Structure 1
Amino acid sequence: MDDDHSDAQTAKGKAARIARQSSALYAIHEVSRLISVVYDDYVAEHGLTRARWWTLMHVGENEGASQTSIAAMLGTGRAAAGRQISKMEALGLIERRSDPNDSRVRTVYLTAKGRELLEPMEHAGYVLFAKFFRGFEEAEEKTLVQFLDRLKANAAE
């Protein structure tokens, strides 16, 4: 009888843990989605779509990187990244240059117009941080980062 009770307790405990883990990952997914939606709203007045601000951010942080490298940073294929870069080049936000060491390689840079958008993007980021971390203590923020870093490390294994 005790073994049956123990097995039932173990099954309940496992089910509760799975439900908790499912809720946690769903919440992380939803927060990630909301971060993008809210940030999109903040930068829309500057003519920035999600694809544009994501590309500007990565190019701005990695000027002179190859289109292939930018595609990897964006998490897209080379063709999709090339199309996005072409659109942004047509808008005067990005420019491509031939690599002086390898004429087959195209490197990507922000233009002055593209660089001007970095400040409103940064400001939108600060507004976003304030919104999402309202009411958090510093220790809670640090703990959250530690937990998320552990999840990322586990996912990378």
Structure 2
Amino acid sequence: MSIKTTAMPDTQLDRNIAFQMASIIYRLDLDLRDSILRKLDLTYVHFRVLQYLYEENGQKIGDIATAIVVRQPVLSRVVDQMEERALVKRRPDPNDSRAMRVYLTPKGKARYKEAWPPAHLLIDKALTNFDEQEHETLLLLLKKMAGNIFG
């Protein structure tokens, strides 16, 4: 991994924003799996679905897939797994009989509430040396970048 914390000359990878961002996300993903997700029998994608539905419950699979950046066919299989584990439930869309919506079950909400505190600690650790202004600036820049990518 190219991320450095000491004063050494920059390499091409050190200056590659996409590589740095992917390295950070991958490391957070690994740490999250090791700290809590395995204990809860969840994958990172399961966690992301729970996280999204906790904030935006009752969404169509296509909307969830877009929000968490997972291909729809993959997410359909993930939702099948989650439904088998009683974490989510599909219900017909009240406004469109052809569509289904995905809802958290009480077990899904409880699982998310159990997973979130350790996940939040990992994020806090990653931001330890950031003051409030740096934190807000990072968030603003990431939102701006996401706007460029997602339109």
| Preserved CA contact (<8 Å) 2:88 2:108 | yes
The 1-side partners of 2:64 and 2:29 are apart by: 20
- Per the alignment, do residues 110 and 138 of structure 1 end up closer, same or farther by CA in structure 2, a change over 3 Å counting? same
Greater helix content: 1
Query: What amino acid sits opposite 1:22 in the alignment?
Result: R
Distance 1:41 1:156, change over 3 A: same
Q: Which runs of 5+ in 2 are unaligned?
A: 1-9
Quick one: distance in 1 between partners of 2:95 and 2:137? 45
Structure 1 segments, 4+ long, off by >6 Å, are none
CA RMSD of aligned residues (A): 2.7
Report the structure number with the largest CA radius of gyration: 1
Over the matched positions of the two proteins, sequence identity in percent amounts to: 25
CA contact (8 A) 2:13 2:19 kept: no
Q: 2:28 is matched with which residue?
A: 35
Query: 5+ unaligned residues in a row in structure 1: which ranges?
Result: 1-16
Partner of 2:131: 137
2:123 and 2:57 map into 1 onto residues whose CA distance is 25
Pair 1:48 & 2:42 matched: yes
The aligned length equals 142
1:26-60, Cα deviation, whole Å (9 max, x unpaired): 32221121122212222221111112111111222
CA distances 1:92-111 after superposition (whole Å, capped 9, x unpaired): 10000012222211111011
